[in-house]
Structure 1
Amino acid sequence: MNKLRGTGVALVTPFTKDYQIDYEGLEKLLHFTLTEGVDYLVINGTTAESASTTQVEKEQLLAFIKQYVNGKVPLVYGLGGNSTASVLESIKATDFTGITALLSVSPYYNKPSQQGIYQHYVQIAETSPVPVILYNVPGRTGSNISAETTLRLAKHNNIIGIKEASGNLEQCMQIAKNKPAGFMLISGDDMLTLPMLTFGAEGVISVLANAFPGKFSKMVRLGMDANFTEASSILFELVDINPLMYEESNPVGVKAILEMFGICSASVRLPLVEASPSLRDRIQDHL
Protein backbone atom coordinates (compact mmCIF):
# COMPACT_ATOMS: atom_id res chain seq x y z
CA MET A 1 0.00 0.00 0.00
CA ASN A 2 2.69 2.47 -1.02
CA LYS A 3 -0.02 5.03 -1.81
CA LEU A 4 -0.59 5.38 1.96
CA ARG A 5 3.03 6.24 2.75
CA GLY A 6 3.70 9.76 3.99
CA THR A 7 1.27 12.19 5.58
CA GLY A 8 -2.38 11.42 6.04
CA VAL A 9 -4.62 14.10 7.54
CA ALA A 10 -7.17 13.07 10.15
CA LEU A 11 -9.70 15.60 8.88
CA VAL A 12 -11.80 17.66 11.29
CA THR A 13 -15.51 18.06 10.58
CA PRO A 14 -16.23 21.80 10.31
CA PHE A 15 -19.44 22.96 11.98
CA THR A 16 -21.36 26.20 11.70
CA LYS A 17 -22.05 28.25 14.81
CA ASP A 18 -25.38 26.41 15.13
CA TYR A 19 -23.56 23.04 14.92
CA GLN A 20 -24.60 21.97 11.45
CA ILE A 21 -21.97 20.57 9.10
CA ASP A 22 -20.24 23.46 7.34
CA TYR A 23 -19.60 22.24 3.82
CA GLU A 24 -18.13 25.59 2.75
CA GLY A 25 -15.58 25.28 5.54
CA LEU A 26 -14.93 21.66 4.62
CA GLU A 27 -14.27 22.66 1.02
CA LYS A 28 -11.78 25.28 2.23
CA LEU A 29 -10.08 22.69 4.42
CA LEU A 30 -9.83 20.18 1.59
CA HIS A 31 -8.39 22.80 -0.75
CA PHE A 32 -5.92 23.91 1.91
CA THR A 33 -4.61 20.45 2.74
CA LEU A 34 -4.48 19.16 -0.82
CA THR A 35 -2.72 22.19 -2.28
CA GLU A 36 -0.14 21.99 0.50
CA GLY A 37 0.84 18.49 -0.57
CA VAL A 38 -0.54 15.94 1.90
CA ASP A 39 -0.51 12.37 0.64
CA TYR A 40 -3.96 11.13 1.67
CA LEU A 41 -7.04 11.99 3.73
CA VAL A 42 -8.66 10.18 6.63
CA ILE A 43 -12.42 10.66 6.98
CA ASN A 44 -14.59 10.02 10.05
CA GLY A 45 -11.81 9.47 12.55
CA THR A 46 -11.60 10.66 16.15
CA THR A 47 -10.54 14.14 15.02
CA ALA A 48 -13.70 14.30 12.89
CA GLU A 49 -15.83 14.04 16.05
CA SER A 50 -17.27 10.81 14.71
CA ALA A 51 -18.72 10.07 18.14
CA SER A 52 -21.16 12.97 17.74
CA THR A 53 -22.08 12.86 14.04
CA THR A 54 -25.10 10.88 12.88
CA GLN A 55 -25.02 8.00 10.41
CA VAL A 56 -26.72 10.19 7.80
CA GLU A 57 -24.12 12.93 8.34
CA LYS A 58 -21.31 10.40 8.02
CA GLU A 59 -22.71 9.25 4.68
CA GLN A 60 -23.11 12.83 3.46
CA LEU A 61 -19.57 13.78 4.53
CA LEU A 62 -18.13 10.75 2.77
CA ALA A 63 -20.04 11.48 -0.44
CA PHE A 64 -19.02 15.17 -0.40
CA ILE A 65 -15.33 14.43 0.13
CA LYS A 66 -15.29 11.71 -2.54
CA GLN A 67 -16.81 14.10 -5.05
CA TYR A 68 -14.45 16.95 -4.18
CA VAL A 69 -11.27 14.85 -4.15
CA ASN A 70 -12.24 12.96 -7.32
CA GLY A 71 -9.37 10.50 -7.07
CA LYS A 72 -6.60 13.09 -6.53
CA VAL A 73 -5.41 11.36 -3.36
CA PRO A 74 -6.30 8.11 -1.57
CA LEU A 75 -9.10 8.18 1.01
CA VAL A 76 -9.15 6.19 4.24
CA TYR A 77 -12.47 5.80 6.05
CA GLY A 78 -12.73 5.47 9.82
CA LEU A 79 -15.24 2.94 11.08
CA GLY A 80 -15.03 1.20 14.43
CA GLY A 81 -16.88 0.59 17.66
CA ASN A 82 -17.21 -1.49 20.78
CA SER A 83 -19.81 -3.89 19.38
CA THR A 84 -18.29 -6.18 16.78
CA ALA A 85 -21.67 -7.06 15.32
CA SER A 86 -22.61 -3.39 14.90
CA VAL A 87 -19.29 -2.61 13.20
CA LEU A 88 -19.84 -5.46 10.75
CA GLU A 89 -23.33 -4.16 9.95
CA SER A 90 -21.93 -0.65 9.37
CA ILE A 91 -19.28 -2.03 7.03
CA LYS A 92 -21.91 -3.86 5.00
CA ALA A 93 -24.01 -0.67 4.78
CA THR A 94 -21.14 1.58 3.64
CA ASP A 95 -20.32 2.41 0.04
CA PHE A 96 -16.59 1.80 -0.23
CA THR A 97 -16.33 2.92 -3.84
CA GLY A 98 -13.26 5.14 -4.07
CA ILE A 99 -12.01 4.18 -0.58
CA THR A 100 -8.48 2.78 -0.35
CA ALA A 101 -8.61 1.40 3.19
CA LEU A 102 -10.67 1.14 6.37
CA LEU A 103 -9.23 2.52 9.63
CA SER A 104 -10.81 0.78 12.60
CA VAL A 105 -10.22 1.78 16.20
CA SER A 106 -9.76 -0.90 18.83
CA PRO A 107 -12.94 -1.57 20.86
CA TYR A 108 -13.36 1.05 23.57
CA TYR A 109 -14.94 0.93 27.03
CA ASN A 110 -15.40 -2.89 27.06
CA LYS A 111 -11.67 -3.42 27.78
CA PRO A 112 -11.50 -6.76 25.90
CA SER A 113 -8.70 -9.27 26.32
CA GLN A 114 -6.04 -9.57 23.64
CA GLN A 115 -7.88 -12.60 22.26
CA GLY A 116 -11.08 -10.54 22.11
CA ILE A 117 -9.28 -7.76 20.23
CA TYR A 118 -7.79 -10.33 17.86
CA GLN A 119 -11.15 -11.95 17.11
CA HIS A 120 -12.82 -8.52 16.69
CA TYR A 121 -10.34 -7.51 13.99
CA VAL A 122 -10.43 -10.88 12.23
CA GLN A 123 -14.20 -10.47 11.84
CA ILE A 124 -13.72 -6.94 10.47
CA ALA A 125 -11.00 -8.06 8.06
CA GLU A 126 -13.17 -10.91 6.81
CA THR A 127 -16.10 -8.53 6.21
CA SER A 128 -14.41 -5.41 4.85
CA PRO A 129 -14.26 -5.09 1.05
CA VAL A 130 -11.12 -2.93 1.38
CA PRO A 131 -7.88 -3.47 3.34
CA VAL A 132 -7.98 -2.75 7.08
CA ILE A 133 -5.67 -0.56 9.17
CA LEU A 134 -5.72 -1.25 12.91
CA TYR A 135 -5.88 1.78 15.21
CA ASN A 136 -4.35 1.55 18.68
CA VAL A 137 -5.08 4.54 20.95
CA PRO A 138 -5.17 3.33 24.56
CA GLY A 139 -5.66 6.85 25.90
CA ARG A 140 -9.15 6.85 24.38
CA THR A 141 -10.11 3.17 24.31
CA GLY A 142 -8.93 2.09 27.76
CA SER A 143 -7.03 -0.89 26.37
CA ASN A 144 -3.85 -1.51 24.42
CA ILE A 145 -3.29 -3.67 21.34
CA SER A 146 -0.09 -5.42 22.34
CA ALA A 147 2.78 -5.84 19.89
CA GLU A 148 2.14 -9.59 19.96
CA THR A 149 -1.52 -9.14 18.96
CA THR A 150 -0.60 -6.66 16.24
CA LEU A 151 1.94 -9.08 14.78
CA ARG A 152 -0.57 -11.91 14.95
CA LEU A 153 -3.12 -9.80 13.07
CA ALA A 154 -0.46 -8.67 10.57
CA LYS A 155 -0.51 -12.18 9.13
CA HIS A 156 -4.07 -11.68 7.89
CA ASN A 157 -4.08 -10.93 4.17
CA ASN A 158 -6.64 -8.08 4.52
CA ILE A 159 -4.92 -6.27 7.41
CA ILE A 160 -2.25 -4.00 5.99
CA GLY A 161 -1.04 -1.83 8.86
CA ILE A 162 -1.54 -0.17 12.21
CA LYS A 163 -1.94 3.43 13.29
CA GLU A 164 0.04 3.30 16.52
CA ALA A 165 -0.88 5.98 19.07
CA SER A 166 0.09 4.15 22.25
CA GLY A 167 3.02 6.49 22.86
CA ASN A 168 5.08 3.40 23.65
CA LEU A 169 8.12 3.53 21.39
CA GLU A 170 9.43 0.17 22.60
CA GLN A 171 6.15 -1.45 21.56
CA CYS A 172 6.40 0.28 18.17
CA MET A 173 9.97 -1.00 17.80
CA GLN A 174 8.82 -4.57 18.47
CA ILE A 175 6.26 -4.20 15.68
CA ALA A 176 8.83 -2.69 13.31
CA LYS A 177 11.36 -5.41 14.10
CA ASN A 178 9.05 -8.38 13.65
CA LYS A 179 6.32 -7.31 11.21
CA PRO A 180 5.97 -9.08 7.87
CA ALA A 181 7.08 -7.29 4.72
CA GLY A 182 4.37 -4.96 3.46
CA PHE A 183 2.70 -4.41 6.84
CA MET A 184 2.70 -0.66 7.53
CA LEU A 185 3.62 0.93 10.85
CA ILE A 186 1.95 4.37 10.85
CA SER A 187 2.47 6.96 13.56
CA GLY A 188 -0.67 8.10 15.35
CA ASP A 189 1.19 10.66 17.44
CA ASP A 190 2.42 13.76 15.62
CA MET A 191 5.42 14.37 17.88
CA LEU A 192 6.61 10.75 17.71
CA THR A 193 6.42 10.56 13.93
CA LEU A 194 10.03 11.52 13.28
CA PRO A 195 11.48 9.11 15.87
CA MET A 196 9.28 6.34 14.48
CA LEU A 197 10.49 7.04 10.93
CA THR A 198 14.02 6.25 12.09
CA PHE A 199 13.12 2.64 12.81
CA GLY A 200 10.72 1.81 10.02
CA ALA A 201 7.43 3.70 10.25
CA GLU A 202 6.05 4.71 6.86
CA GLY A 203 4.31 7.94 7.77
CA VAL A 204 1.65 9.43 10.00
CA ILE A 205 -2.06 10.06 10.33
CA SER A 206 -1.86 13.56 11.71
CA VAL A 207 -3.99 16.08 13.62
CA LEU A 208 -1.61 19.02 13.18
CA ALA A 209 -1.58 18.51 9.41
CA ASN A 210 -5.08 20.04 9.34
CA ALA A 211 -3.51 23.36 10.27
CA PHE A 212 0.08 22.93 9.02
CA PRO A 213 -0.23 20.55 6.06
CA GLY A 214 2.74 21.89 4.10
CA LYS A 215 5.10 22.06 7.05
CA PHE A 216 4.12 18.65 8.38
CA SER A 217 4.29 16.95 4.98
CA LYS A 218 7.74 18.41 4.40
CA MET A 219 8.94 17.13 7.77
CA VAL A 220 7.70 13.63 6.99
CA ARG A 221 9.24 13.61 3.52
CA LEU A 222 12.59 14.73 4.94
CA GLY A 223 12.39 12.06 7.62
CA MET A 224 11.61 9.37 5.07
CA ASP A 225 14.65 10.53 3.11
CA ALA A 226 16.75 10.22 6.31
CA ASN A 227 17.37 13.99 6.41
CA PHE A 228 16.77 14.06 10.15
CA THR A 229 18.59 17.32 10.87
CA GLU A 230 16.33 19.42 8.65
CA ALA A 231 13.27 17.38 9.60
CA SER A 232 14.00 17.97 13.29
CA SER A 233 14.15 21.73 12.77
CA ILE A 234 10.55 21.61 11.50
CA LEU A 235 9.49 19.32 14.34
CA PHE A 236 10.92 21.76 16.88
CA GLU A 237 8.81 24.55 15.39
CA LEU A 238 5.70 22.53 16.26
CA VAL A 239 6.70 20.95 19.54
CA ASP A 240 5.43 23.79 21.76
CA ILE A 241 2.04 24.18 20.11
CA ASN A 242 1.31 20.44 19.96
CA PRO A 243 0.26 19.94 23.62
CA LEU A 244 -2.18 22.82 23.28
CA MET A 245 -4.05 20.77 20.69
CA TYR A 246 -5.03 18.22 23.36
CA GLU A 247 -5.23 20.32 26.52
CA GLU A 248 -9.02 20.63 26.21
CA SER A 249 -9.38 17.51 24.02
CA ASN A 250 -8.93 16.95 20.30
CA PRO A 251 -10.05 18.60 17.95
CA VAL A 252 -10.70 21.68 20.14
CA GLY A 253 -7.20 23.10 19.72
CA VAL A 254 -6.74 22.48 16.02
CA LYS A 255 -10.20 23.90 15.26
CA ALA A 256 -9.22 27.08 17.12
CA ILE A 257 -6.21 27.40 14.80
CA LEU A 258 -8.33 26.75 11.72
CA GLU A 259 -10.68 29.55 12.78
CA MET A 260 -7.71 31.89 13.23
CA PHE A 261 -6.62 30.95 9.70
CA GLY A 262 -10.11 31.73 8.33
CA ILE A 263 -10.78 28.17 7.16
CA CYS A 264 -13.68 27.14 9.40
CA SER A 265 -15.21 28.00 12.75
CA ALA A 266 -13.92 26.61 16.04
CA SER A 267 -17.34 25.07 16.76
CA VAL A 268 -17.39 21.60 18.28
CA ARG A 269 -20.35 19.53 19.41
CA LEU A 270 -21.16 18.78 23.03
CA PRO A 271 -19.83 17.31 25.20
CA LEU A 272 -16.84 19.13 23.72
CA VAL A 273 -16.79 22.92 23.97
CA GLU A 274 -14.73 25.52 22.13
CA ALA A 275 -11.28 26.46 23.36
CA SER A 276 -11.28 28.60 26.48
CA PRO A 277 -10.07 32.22 26.19
CA SER A 278 -6.87 31.22 27.99
CA LEU A 279 -6.14 28.40 25.56
CA ARG A 280 -6.95 30.56 22.55
CA ASP A 281 -4.55 33.25 23.79
CA ARG A 282 -1.74 30.78 24.22
CA ILE A 283 -2.37 29.25 20.78
CA GLN A 284 -2.35 32.73 19.26
CA ASP A 285 0.95 33.53 21.04
CA HIS A 286 2.57 30.42 19.52
CA LEU A 287 1.21 31.18 16.06
Structure 2
Amino acid sequence: MTLFSGAGVALVTPFSNGKVDFPKLAELIEWQISHDIDAIISCGTTGEASTLSDEEHIETVRYTINKVAGRVPVISGSGSNDTAHAIAMSQALQDVGVDGLLTVTPYYNKCTQEGLIKHYTAIADQIKIPMILYSVPGRTGVNISPSTVSVLCQHEHIAGIKEASGDMSQVVEIAKHVSDQFALYSGNDDMTVALLSMGGIGVISTTANIIPKQMHAMVKNYLDGHVEEACKMQLEMKSLIDAMFIEVNPIPVKAALHLMGKIEKEYRLPMCEPCEESLRKIERELTAYGVLPPYSCS
Protein backbone atom coordinates (compact mmCIF):
# COMPACT_ATOMS: atom_id res chain seq x y z
CA MET A 1 0.00 0.00 0.00
CA THR A 2 3.04 2.30 0.31
CA LEU A 3 2.92 4.77 -2.55
CA PHE A 4 6.63 5.50 -2.74
CA SER A 5 9.83 5.78 -0.79
CA GLY A 6 12.44 8.43 -1.48
CA ALA A 7 11.91 11.99 -2.66
CA GLY A 8 8.59 13.13 -4.07
CA VAL A 9 8.39 16.59 -5.58
CA ALA A 10 5.51 18.87 -4.65
CA LEU A 11 5.47 20.17 -8.20
CA VAL A 12 4.70 23.79 -9.03
CA THR A 13 1.96 24.60 -11.52
CA PRO A 14 3.42 26.85 -14.22
CA PHE A 15 1.17 29.60 -15.58
CA SER A 16 1.27 31.72 -18.70
CA ASN A 17 -1.13 34.56 -19.41
CA GLY A 18 -3.35 33.44 -16.55
CA LYS A 19 -3.68 29.82 -17.68
CA VAL A 20 -1.91 26.58 -16.82
CA ASP A 21 1.18 26.35 -19.05
CA PHE A 22 0.97 22.71 -20.12
CA PRO A 23 4.07 22.73 -22.39
CA LYS A 24 6.19 24.00 -19.48
CA LEU A 25 4.55 21.48 -17.17
CA ALA A 26 5.57 18.71 -19.57
CA GLU A 27 9.16 19.97 -19.52
CA LEU A 28 9.21 20.08 -15.73
CA ILE A 29 7.88 16.52 -15.52
CA GLU A 30 10.51 15.19 -17.93
CA TRP A 31 13.29 17.05 -16.11
CA GLN A 32 12.16 15.72 -12.74
CA ILE A 33 12.02 12.12 -13.92
CA SER A 34 15.38 12.38 -15.71
CA HIS A 35 16.85 13.65 -12.43
CA ASP A 36 15.73 10.61 -10.41
CA ILE A 37 12.65 11.94 -8.62
CA ASP A 38 10.70 9.12 -6.97
CA ALA A 39 7.16 10.54 -7.17
CA ILE A 40 5.32 13.57 -8.48
CA ILE A 41 2.74 15.32 -6.32
CA SER A 42 0.46 17.39 -8.52
CA CYS A 43 -1.80 20.25 -7.44
CA GLY A 44 -0.82 20.45 -3.80
CA THR A 45 0.03 23.56 -1.81
CA THR A 46 3.16 24.21 -3.90
CA GLY A 47 1.03 23.65 -7.00
CA GLU A 48 -1.28 26.52 -5.99
CA ALA A 49 -4.28 24.19 -5.94
CA SER A 50 -6.26 26.64 -3.83
CA THR A 51 -6.51 29.00 -6.82
CA LEU A 52 -7.23 26.34 -9.45
CA SER A 53 -10.80 25.67 -10.47
CA ASP A 54 -11.90 22.06 -10.03
CA GLU A 55 -11.77 21.67 -13.81
CA GLU A 56 -8.20 23.03 -14.00
CA HIS A 57 -7.14 20.87 -11.07
CA ILE A 58 -8.47 17.67 -12.63
CA GLU A 59 -7.12 18.51 -16.10
CA THR A 60 -3.66 19.32 -14.70
CA VAL A 61 -3.56 16.00 -12.87
CA ARG A 62 -4.84 14.13 -15.93
CA TYR A 63 -2.15 15.76 -18.08
CA THR A 64 0.52 14.88 -15.51
CA ILE A 65 -0.56 11.24 -15.38
CA ASN A 66 -0.44 10.98 -19.18
CA LYS A 67 3.01 12.57 -19.38
CA VAL A 68 4.45 10.48 -16.56
CA ALA A 69 3.06 7.34 -18.21
CA GLY A 70 3.64 5.11 -15.19
CA ARG A 71 7.34 5.90 -14.77
CA VAL A 72 6.83 7.14 -11.20
CA PRO A 73 3.73 7.37 -8.98
CA VAL A 74 1.53 10.45 -9.41
CA ILE A 75 -0.19 11.71 -6.27
CA SER A 76 -2.67 14.56 -6.27
CA GLY A 77 -3.73 17.05 -3.69
CA SER A 78 -7.43 16.63 -2.89
CA GLY A 79 -7.95 18.47 0.39
CA SER A 80 -10.71 20.92 1.22
CA ASN A 81 -12.33 22.57 4.21
CA ASP A 82 -15.60 21.08 2.96
CA THR A 83 -15.71 17.30 3.44
CA ALA A 84 -18.27 16.80 0.67
CA HIS A 85 -16.05 18.72 -1.77
CA ALA A 86 -12.99 16.73 -0.69
CA ILE A 87 -14.88 13.48 -1.36
CA ALA A 88 -16.04 14.67 -4.79
CA MET A 89 -12.53 15.79 -5.80
CA SER A 90 -10.95 12.61 -4.44
CA GLN A 91 -13.34 10.47 -6.48
CA ALA A 92 -12.83 12.57 -9.62
CA LEU A 93 -9.04 12.31 -9.30
CA GLN A 94 -9.30 8.58 -8.65
CA ASP A 95 -11.31 8.29 -11.87
CA VAL A 96 -8.60 9.97 -13.97
CA GLY A 97 -6.08 7.40 -12.73
CA VAL A 98 -4.05 9.04 -9.97
CA ASP A 99 -2.03 6.60 -7.85
CA GLY A 100 -2.85 8.25 -4.55
CA LEU A 101 -4.14 11.34 -2.80
CA LEU A 102 -2.56 13.91 -0.50
CA THR A 103 -5.30 15.39 1.65
CA VAL A 104 -4.59 18.46 3.75
CA THR A 105 -6.52 19.20 6.93
CA PRO A 106 -9.57 21.48 6.71
CA TYR A 107 -8.54 25.12 6.92
CA TYR A 108 -10.21 28.37 8.03
CA ASN A 109 -13.30 26.77 9.54
CA LYS A 110 -10.92 24.28 11.27
CA CYS A 111 -12.31 21.39 13.32
CA THR A 112 -11.69 19.34 16.44
CA GLN A 113 -9.65 16.14 16.49
CA GLU A 114 -12.92 14.21 16.44
CA GLY A 115 -13.90 16.27 13.41
CA LEU A 116 -10.63 15.28 11.72
CA ILE A 117 -11.33 11.60 12.34
CA LYS A 118 -14.81 11.93 10.87
CA HIS A 119 -13.56 14.06 7.94
CA TYR A 120 -10.78 11.70 6.88
CA THR A 121 -12.85 8.58 7.50
CA ALA A 122 -15.66 9.95 5.34
CA ILE A 123 -13.21 10.54 2.47
CA ALA A 124 -11.40 7.22 2.87
CA ASP A 125 -14.69 5.32 2.91
CA GLN A 126 -15.53 6.69 -0.54
CA ILE A 127 -12.27 5.90 -2.37
CA LYS A 128 -10.37 2.79 -3.41
CA ILE A 129 -6.84 4.21 -3.65
CA PRO A 130 -4.31 5.14 -0.93
CA MET A 131 -4.56 8.50 0.80
CA ILE A 132 -1.81 10.38 2.63
CA LEU A 133 -2.85 12.66 5.48
CA TYR A 134 -1.26 16.12 5.38
CA SER A 135 -0.66 17.99 8.61
CA VAL A 136 0.67 21.53 8.16
CA PRO A 137 -0.73 23.56 11.07
CA GLY A 138 1.34 26.65 10.25
CA ARG A 139 -0.68 26.96 7.07
CA THR A 140 -4.11 25.58 7.99
CA GLY A 141 -4.33 26.25 11.72
CA VAL A 142 -5.14 22.57 12.33
CA ASN A 143 -2.72 19.96 13.67
CA ILE A 144 -3.29 16.21 13.37
CA SER A 145 -2.41 14.92 16.82
CA PRO A 146 -0.54 11.63 17.29
CA SER A 147 -3.61 10.07 18.93
CA THR A 148 -5.71 11.02 15.91
CA VAL A 149 -3.14 9.49 13.56
CA SER A 150 -3.23 6.32 15.66
CA VAL A 151 -6.96 6.03 14.92
CA LEU A 152 -6.84 7.00 11.25
CA CYS A 153 -3.90 4.74 10.38
CA GLN A 154 -6.16 1.74 10.93
CA HIS A 155 -8.26 2.59 7.86
CA GLU A 156 -7.35 0.43 4.89
CA HIS A 157 -7.16 3.40 2.51
CA ILE A 158 -5.12 5.72 4.75
CA ALA A 159 -1.54 4.87 3.84
CA GLY A 160 0.61 7.51 5.52
CA ILE A 161 1.11 11.08 6.63
CA LYS A 162 3.03 14.06 5.34
CA GLU A 163 4.12 15.57 8.64
CA ALA A 164 4.89 19.28 8.41
CA SER A 165 4.28 20.47 11.96
CA GLY A 166 8.00 21.11 12.49
CA ASP A 167 7.69 19.35 15.84
CA MET A 168 10.03 16.37 16.08
CA SER A 169 8.54 15.34 19.42
CA GLN A 170 5.23 14.92 17.63
CA VAL A 171 6.90 12.90 14.87
CA VAL A 172 8.39 10.58 17.50
CA GLU A 173 4.98 10.16 19.14
CA ILE A 174 3.37 9.36 15.78
CA ALA A 175 6.09 6.84 14.96
CA LYS A 176 5.38 5.16 18.29
CA HIS A 177 1.74 4.57 17.41
CA VAL A 178 1.85 3.39 13.79
CA SER A 179 2.95 0.17 12.12
CA ASP A 180 5.77 -0.26 9.64
CA GLN A 181 3.13 -0.37 6.91
CA PHE A 182 2.11 3.25 7.59
CA ALA A 183 4.35 5.66 5.68
CA LEU A 184 5.90 8.69 7.37
CA TYR A 185 6.92 11.44 4.94
CA SER A 186 8.70 14.63 5.89
CA GLY A 187 6.83 17.79 4.97
CA ASN A 188 9.75 19.97 6.10
CA ASP A 189 12.70 19.81 3.72
CA ASP A 190 15.17 20.83 6.42
CA MET A 191 14.02 18.04 8.77
CA THR A 192 14.03 15.17 6.29
CA VAL A 193 16.96 13.21 7.72
CA ALA A 194 15.68 13.72 11.25
CA LEU A 195 12.30 12.27 10.28
CA LEU A 196 13.94 9.38 8.43
CA SER A 197 15.74 8.53 11.67
CA MET A 198 12.32 8.00 13.26
CA GLY A 199 11.30 5.42 10.66
CA GLY A 200 10.28 7.76 7.86
CA ILE A 201 10.59 6.58 4.28
CA GLY A 202 10.76 9.82 2.34
CA VAL A 203 10.00 13.46 1.81
CA ILE A 204 7.36 15.38 -0.14
CA SER A 205 9.55 18.29 -1.05
CA THR A 206 9.25 21.84 -2.33
CA THR A 207 13.01 22.21 -2.80
CA ALA A 208 13.04 19.11 -5.03
CA ASN A 209 11.56 21.39 -7.71
CA ILE A 210 15.07 22.80 -8.18
CA ILE A 211 17.35 19.97 -6.91
CA PRO A 212 15.51 16.68 -7.55
CA LYS A 213 18.65 14.58 -8.00
CA GLN A 214 20.15 15.75 -4.71
CA MET A 215 16.91 15.23 -2.77
CA HIS A 216 16.60 11.72 -4.18
CA ALA A 217 20.24 10.96 -3.36
CA MET A 218 19.96 12.26 0.21
CA VAL A 219 17.00 10.04 1.04
CA LYS A 220 18.47 7.05 -0.80
CA ASN A 221 21.75 7.45 1.07
CA TYR A 222 19.93 7.35 4.38
CA LEU A 223 17.71 4.40 3.48
CA ASP A 224 20.74 2.51 2.13
CA GLY A 225 22.57 2.98 5.42
CA HIS A 226 24.88 5.83 4.37
CA VAL A 227 23.73 7.99 7.25
CA GLU A 228 26.78 10.27 7.45
CA GLU A 229 26.55 11.15 3.78
CA ALA A 230 22.81 11.85 4.09
CA CYS A 231 23.45 14.11 7.10
CA LYS A 232 26.18 15.94 5.20
CA MET A 233 23.85 16.54 2.26
CA GLN A 234 21.08 17.79 4.56
CA LEU A 235 23.42 20.33 6.13
CA GLU A 236 24.82 21.43 2.76
CA MET A 237 21.37 22.22 1.39
CA LYS A 238 20.09 23.98 4.53
CA SER A 239 20.75 27.53 3.31
CA LEU A 240 19.14 26.80 -0.04
CA ILE A 241 16.10 25.31 1.69
CA ASP A 242 15.84 28.40 3.90
CA ALA A 243 15.82 30.57 0.78
CA MET A 244 12.94 28.53 -0.65
CA PHE A 245 10.86 29.59 2.34
CA ILE A 246 12.05 33.19 2.71
CA GLU A 247 8.53 34.16 1.62
CA VAL A 248 5.41 32.02 1.62
CA ASN A 249 5.60 28.89 -0.55
CA PRO A 250 5.51 28.70 -3.60
CA ILE A 251 6.66 32.28 -4.19
CA PRO A 252 10.41 31.61 -3.78
CA VAL A 253 10.56 28.27 -5.59
CA LYS A 254 8.72 29.62 -8.63
CA ALA A 255 11.11 32.58 -8.67
CA ALA A 256 14.00 30.11 -8.51
CA LEU A 257 12.63 28.06 -11.41
CA HIS A 258 12.24 31.28 -13.40
CA LEU A 259 15.88 32.19 -12.71
CA MET A 260 16.79 28.69 -13.93
CA GLY A 261 14.91 29.39 -17.16
CA LYS A 262 12.29 26.70 -16.59
CA ILE A 263 9.03 28.65 -16.14
CA GLU A 264 7.58 32.11 -16.42
CA LYS A 265 7.47 34.01 -13.14
CA GLU A 266 3.71 34.02 -12.91
CA TYR A 267 1.49 33.45 -9.89
CA ARG A 268 -2.18 33.65 -9.11
CA LEU A 269 -3.29 36.24 -6.62
CA PRO A 270 -3.03 36.42 -3.70
CA MET A 271 0.40 34.90 -4.51
CA CYS A 272 2.69 37.51 -6.07
CA GLU A 273 6.34 38.05 -6.98
CA PRO A 274 8.91 38.14 -4.16
CA CYS A 275 10.36 41.45 -3.04
CA GLU A 276 13.71 42.49 -4.48
CA GLU A 277 15.61 41.61 -1.31
CA SER A 278 14.16 38.09 -1.27
CA LEU A 279 14.89 37.64 -4.96
CA ARG A 280 18.55 38.57 -4.45
CA LYS A 281 18.76 36.07 -1.58
CA ILE A 282 17.23 33.32 -3.73
CA GLU A 283 19.67 34.06 -6.54
CA ARG A 284 22.66 34.08 -4.17
CA GLU A 285 21.73 30.73 -2.66
CA LEU A 286 21.07 29.14 -6.05
CA THR A 287 24.53 30.29 -7.10
CA ALA A 288 26.23 29.19 -3.88
CA TYR A 289 24.73 25.71 -4.18
CA GLY A 290 25.75 25.47 -7.84
CA VAL A 291 22.28 25.54 -9.40
CA LEU A 292 23.14 28.79 -11.20
CA PRO A 293 26.58 29.58 -12.61
CA PRO A 294 28.60 32.23 -10.71
CA TYR A 295 28.14 34.94 -13.34
CA SER A 296 24.35 34.85 -12.81
CA CYS A 297 24.63 36.20 -9.25
CA SER A 298 23.81 39.92 -8.98
TM-score range, shorter chain: over 0.9
- Does structure 1 residue 15 correspond to structure 2 residue 15? yes
> Contact 1:101/1:133 (CA < 8 Å) preserved in 2?
yes
Write the distance in 2 (CA, Å) between the matches of 1:92 and 1:225: 36
Residue 152 of structure 1 aligns to a residue whose secondary structure is helix
2:175 equivalent in structure 1: 176
> Contact 2:62/2:96 (CA < 8 Å) preserved in 1?
no
Deviates more, 1:45-54 or 1:21-30: 21-30
AA in 2 matched with 1:278: E
Write the distance in 2 (CA, Å) between the matches of 1:240 and 1:66: 33
Alignment of 1:1-287 (within 5 A): 1-16=1-16, 18-287=17-286
> Contact 1:44/1:78 (CA < 8 Å) preserved in 2?
yes
Q: Unaligned stretches of 5+ in structure 1?
A: none
Instruction: Assess, with a 3 A threshold, how the Cα gap between structure 1 residues 190 and 226 changes in structure 2: closer, same or farther.
Output: same
Instruction: Assess, with a 3 A threshold, how the Cα gap between structure 1 residues 50 and 239 changes in structure 2: closer, same or farther.
Output: same
Write the distance in 1 (CA, Å) between the matches of 2:3 and 2:100: 11
AA in 1 matched with 2:124: A
TM-score (norm 2): 0.92
CA shift for structure 1 position 3: 4.5
> Contact 1:96/1:130 (CA < 8 Å) preserved in 2?
no
Write the distance in 2 (CA, Å) between the matches of 1:226 and 1:113: 40
Write the distance in 2 (CA, Å) between the matches of 1:92 and 1:30: 24
> Contact 1:198/1:226 (CA < 8 Å) preserved in 2?
no
TM-score (norm 1): 0.96
Write the distance in 2 (CA, Å) between the matches of 1:92 and 1:179: 26
Residue 47 of structure 1 aligns to a residue whose secondary structure is coil
Instruction: Assess, with a 3 A threshold, how the Cα gap between structure 1 residues 212 and 161 changes in structure 2: closer, same or farther.
Output: same
Write the distance in 2 (CA, Å) between the matches of 1:22 and 1:283: 23
Write the distance in 2 (CA, Å) between the matches of 1:191 and 1:240: 9
Deviates more, 1:275-284 or 1:158-167: 275-284
CA shift for structure 1 position 111: 2.2
Residue 163 of structure 1 aligns to a residue whose secondary structure is strand
AA in 1 matched with 2:155: H
Write the distance in 2 (CA, Å) between the matches of 1:118 and 1:95: 21
Residue 217 of structure 2 aligns to a residue whose secondary structure is helix
| Deviations 1:144-200, CA, capped at 9 Å, x for gaps | 110000011011111110110011111111111221230111111111110111120
> Contact 1:252/1:272 (CA < 8 Å) preserved in 2?
yes
Write the distance in 1 (CA, Å) between the matches of 2:167 and 2:177: 16
> Contact 2:3/2:100 (CA < 8 Å) preserved in 1?
no
CA shift for structure 1 position 2: 4.2
Pairwise CA RMSD: 1.3
Q: Percent identity?
A: 38
Q: Unaligned stretches of 5+ in structure 2?
A: 287-298
CA shift for structure 1 position 40: 0.7
- Greater relative contact order (Cα 8 A, min sep 6): structure 1 or 2? 1
> Contact 1:10/1:207 (CA < 8 Å) preserved in 2?
yes
> Contact 1:78/1:104 (CA < 8 Å) preserved in 2?
yes
Moved over 4 A (4+): none
Residue 143 of structure 2 aligns to a residue whose secondary structure is coil
AA in 2 matched with 1:67: N
AA in 2 matched with 1:4: F
